[in-house]
């Protein structure tokens, strides 16, 4: 019998078309290569150089290849991860990486979860502790941290409740405040449904979440976007990403704002032998969506299988897609748009040689732990379900001793370097400043005790978080005095995130004579770093940030924001 409270990750299956039995990949399905540093082609974007595989839970990692019967009941699976900007005890910029995961079996009842925290960029994680978080949180523009619960609770034909969690500080692990948001929809709701994926906040403050809900006219699920303009107290359905057909339904959806500001959704479609992935785009903030099409890997004519997709626009402007089942994998879109997916590779598997869908659940998490570095988290074995007689159903991850990494219900992680298009050697501006080989001269010194990452060094800290910036109450000037002459091939700039802004870049050998700008940006809206060619040798670089209007009231009527700057040699 099951002696613990039970939890679900994807068992809201009432109304889904009947699934075929276990199957091996046949013609037409993509078979992906394993990822390794040795097999990565020259010029690859996804580089496994940051670290080797490591365990998050159990902690410390188990010594035995297989768990005992009692250890196998230490459930951990369906992980998520967030990397959030903070300030360390010494006042320096820091980051807290939070991995959350469910701690019981895959069944629709009360959720229980645990979290493990890293303070060193995901290299090591501390012991797990109970948490109300199922999804890892995001930071809102007002400084609060925000996350949703999982299940929708129908209250009447046009409304449902969804638990939301907020906190004003990551220092207090018990400080999460739960409330219930009201979701409204014009459709005729049935019971069931869930919110899946990380929320997205637009530049105007609107919070977007994706959910899949059941409706009376079809009796099954469709993937939708809900929007909140009041900080997460109420949400209204903003758009339908994909409606069901006679054969297929769309449920889990990942949502991300891409480099050009449009929204990309990657969705799980059920109804065939395998779950497959599809995508759609919105250019009006999620109100209308392009016709759903299959996710495709460039140069491959095959169907992409997967569940629980995750999307991440890295600070460096590369869009990354993570999913799984079978195995766990990633692919990249170097231009940050997601129209083309390159370098699909299996990042982790726990195969038993019997069924390709045995082992890991395929549920993954992604987060940026630097401008060009990311963490992927995944589980070792899919959590068991429960049979009608109350006994565990472990057919997806049986305890038969055949798995490569054992039958542990465990959560693990990998760290990757993500190269930016264009190549070149990036100057580590933060390290140069720390060593005294770089001096910053700037008028961008606006600060606030409520925005501790808003400071001159916020422009070279590797984060494109909104408040992790150098800020001026008007026009800003930001000069990098390099310790020696560099041949500067290009510059990466992120200005005021989500808002049209302009800047001019000058270079100089003596720091006095600047000449004409080598880069001019006018009315550009940035959502990550974007790169321009320089092709000049210089010891000094000056960035003049033009003021923009409609700024945050705490700054003033006008502001200049340099969110992030990079130099390449």
Task: Determine if residue 209 is left, alpha or beta; phi over 0 gives left, psi from -120 to 50 gives alpha, anything else beta.
Answer: beta
169 CA to centre of own chain: 20
Considering the domain boundaries, does residue 446 fall inside one? yes
Query: What CA–CA distances, in Å, run from 157 to 187, 217, 223, 394, 420?
Result: 7, 12, 17, 36, 48
- Residue 92 is predicted with a pLDDT of 87
Whether residues 393 and 517 fall in one domain: no
CA 88 to CA 103: how far, in whole Å? 30
For the record, the structure tokens of 179 come out as: 């409330």
CATH of the domain at 251: 2.120.10.10
- Helix (H) or strand (E) holding 538, with range, is strand 530-545
Q: Phi and psi of 73, rounded to 5°?
A: -85, 0
Query: What CA–CA distances, in Å, run from 460 to 96, 271, 296, 478, 520?
Result: 18, 47, 35, 11, 20
Whether residues 192 and 130 fall in one domain: yes
Query: What CA–CA distances, in Å, run from 69 to 121, 157, 318, 391, 396?
Result: 34, 45, 43, 14, 17
For the record, the structure tokens of 274 come out as: 């395998």
Whether residues 164 and 230 fall in one domain: yes
Beta strands 234-242 and 221-228: pairing type? antiparallel
The residue out of 418, 452, 469 marking a domain boundary is 418
- Residue 175 is predicted with a pLDDT of 84
For the chain (569 residues), the mean pLDDT of every run of 10, in chain order, is 36 34 58 67 72 90 94 95 92 93 82 93 94 92 94 96 92 82 96 94 97 95 97 97 94 97 98 95 98 96 97 97 96 96 94 93 97 96 92 93 96 93 90 96 96 96 96 98 95 98 97 96 98 96 97 96 97
Whether residues 200 and 223 fall in one domain: yes
Considering the domain boundaries, does residue 91 fall inside one? yes
- Residue 423 is predicted with a pLDDT of 76
For the record, the structure tokens of 192 come out as: 């069931």
Is residue 457 helix, strand or coil?
Answer: helix
Considering the domain boundaries, does residue 423 fall inside one? no
For the chain, the farthest-separated pair of C-alpha atoms sits apart, in whole angstroms, at 81
For the record, the structure tokens of 560 come out as: 């200049």
Under a CB-based contact definition with an 8 Å cutoff, are residues 468 and 84 in contact?
Answer: no
- Residue 27 is predicted with a pLDDT of 56
Considering the domain boundaries, does residue 448 fall inside one? yes
Whether residues 437 and 374 fall in one domain: no
Helix/strand/coil percent split, the chain, to 5: 5, 45, 55
Query: pTM to 2 decimals?
Result: 0.93
Considering the domain boundaries, does residue 4 fall inside one? no
Whether residues 271 and 389 fall in one domain: yes
Question: CA nearest 345: which of 380, 308, 304?
Answer: 304
- Residue 36 is predicted with a pLDDT of 58
Whether residues 454 and 549 fall in one domain: yes
CA 502 to CA 520: how far, in whole Å? 8
Neighbours of 350 (CB within 10 A): 23
The residue out of 354, 388, 418 marking a domain boundary is 418
Instruction: Provide Rg for the chain, Cα atoms.
Output: 24
The residue out of 396, 418, 440 marking a domain boundary is 418
Whether residues 298 and 379 fall in one domain: yes
Q: Phi and psi of 402, rounded to 5°?
A: -105, -10
Beta strands 177-184 and 234-242: pairing type? parallel
SS (H, E, C) 120-149: CCCCCCCCCEEECCCCCCEECCCCCEEEEC
CATH of the domain at 479: 2.60.120.260
Domain count of the fold of the chain: 2
Is residue 152 helix, strand or coil?
Answer: coil
Q: Phi and psi of 205, rounded to 5°?
A: 95, -10
Considering the domain boundaries, does residue 97 fall inside one? yes
CA 430 to CA 411: how far, in whole Å? 32
- Residue 106 is predicted with a pLDDT of 81
Supply the range of the domain harboring residue 437.
429-568
- Residue 174 is predicted with a pLDDT of 65
**In angstroms, how far is the first alpha carbon of the chain from the final one?**
63
Considering the domain boundaries, does residue 35 fall inside one? no
Question: CA nearest 431: which of 86, 84, 118, 92?
Answer: 92
Under a CB-based contact definition with an 8 Å cutoff, are residues 150 and 8 in contact?
Answer: yes
Whether residues 464 and 387 fall in one domain: no
Considering the domain boundaries, does residue 21 fall inside one? no
Beta strands 159-167 and 153-156: pairing type? antiparallel
Question: CA nearest 329: which of 367, 376, 396?
Answer: 376
Is residue 220 helix, strand or coil?
Answer: coil
Whether residues 349 and 448 fall in one domain: no
Whether residues 435 and 398 fall in one domain: no
Whether residues 535 and 387 fall in one domain: no
Query: What CA–CA distances, in Å, run from 496 to 38, 207, 429, 547, 567?
Result: 39, 19, 20, 10, 18
């Amino acid at each position: 019998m099951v002696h613990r409270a039970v939890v679900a990750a994807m068992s809201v299956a009432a109304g889904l078309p009947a699934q075929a039995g276990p199957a091996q990949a046949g013609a037409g399905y993509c078979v992906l290569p394993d990822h390794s540093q040795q097999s990565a082609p020259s010029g690859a974007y996804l580089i496994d150089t940051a670290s080797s595989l490591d365990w998050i839970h159990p902690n410390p990692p188990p010594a035995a290849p297989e768990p005992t019967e009692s250890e196998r009941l230490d459930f951990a699976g369906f992980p998520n991860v967030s990397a959030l900007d903070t300030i360390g005890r010494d006042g320096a910029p820091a980051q807290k990486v939070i991995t959350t995961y469910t701690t019981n079996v895959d069944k629709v009842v009360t959720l229980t979860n645990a979290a493990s925290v890293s303070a060193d960029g995901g290299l090591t994680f501390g012991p797990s502790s109970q948490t109300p978080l199922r999804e890892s949180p995001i930071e809102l523009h007002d400084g609060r941290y925000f996350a949703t619960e999982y299940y929708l609770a129908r209250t009447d034909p046009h409304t449902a409740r969804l638990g939301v969690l907020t906190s004003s500080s990551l220092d207090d692990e018990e400080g999460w405040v739960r409330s219930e948001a009201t979701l409204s929809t014009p459709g005729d709701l049935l019971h069931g449904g869930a919110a899946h994926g990380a929320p997205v906040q637009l530049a105007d403050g609107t919070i977007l979440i994706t959910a899949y809900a059941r409706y009376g006219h079809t009796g099954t699920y469709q993937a939708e976007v809900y929007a909140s303009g009041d900080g997460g107290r109420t949400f209204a359905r903003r758009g339908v990403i994909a409606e069901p057909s006679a054969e297929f339904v769309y449920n889990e959806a990942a949502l991300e704002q891409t480099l050009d500001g449009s929204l990309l959704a990657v969705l799980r479609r059920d109804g065939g032998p395998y779950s497959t992935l599809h995508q759609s785009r919105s250019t009006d903030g999620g109100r209308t969506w392009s016709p759903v099409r299959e996710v495709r890997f460039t140069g491959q004519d095959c169907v992409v299988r997967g569940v629980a997709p995750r999307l991440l626009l890295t600070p460096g402007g590369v869009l990354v897609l993570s999913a799984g089942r079978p195995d766990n994998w990633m692919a990249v879109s170097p231009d940050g748009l997601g129209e083309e997916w390159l370098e699909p590779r299996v990042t982790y598997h726990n195969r038993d040689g019997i069924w390709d869908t045995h082992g890991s659940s395929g549920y993954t998490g992604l987060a940026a732990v630097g401008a060009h570095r990311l963490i992927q988290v995944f589980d070792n074995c899919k959590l068991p379900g429960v049979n009608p007689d109350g006994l565990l159903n472990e057919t997806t991850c049986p305890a038969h001793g055949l798995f490569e990494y054992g039958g542990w219900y465990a959560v693990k992680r990998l760290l990757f370097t993500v190269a930016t298009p264009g190549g070149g050697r990036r100057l580590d501006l933060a390290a140069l400043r720390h060593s005294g080989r770089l001096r910053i001269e700037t008028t961008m010194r606006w600060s606030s005790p409520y925005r501790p990452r808003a400071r001159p060094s916020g422009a070279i800290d590797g984060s494109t978080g909104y408040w992790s910036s150098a800020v001026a109450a008007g026009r800003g000037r930001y000069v990098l005095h390099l310790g020696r002459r560099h041949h500067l091939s290009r510059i990466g700039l992120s200005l005021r995130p989500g808002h049209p802004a302009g800047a001019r870049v000058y270079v100089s050998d003596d720091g006095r004579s600047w000449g004409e700008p080598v880069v001019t940006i006018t009315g550009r809206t940035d959502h990550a770093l974007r790169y321009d060619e320089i092709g000049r040798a210089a010891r000094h670089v000056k960035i003049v940030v033009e003021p923009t209007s409609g700024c945050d009231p705490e700054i003033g009527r006008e502001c200049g924001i340099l969110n992030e700057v990079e130099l390449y040699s």
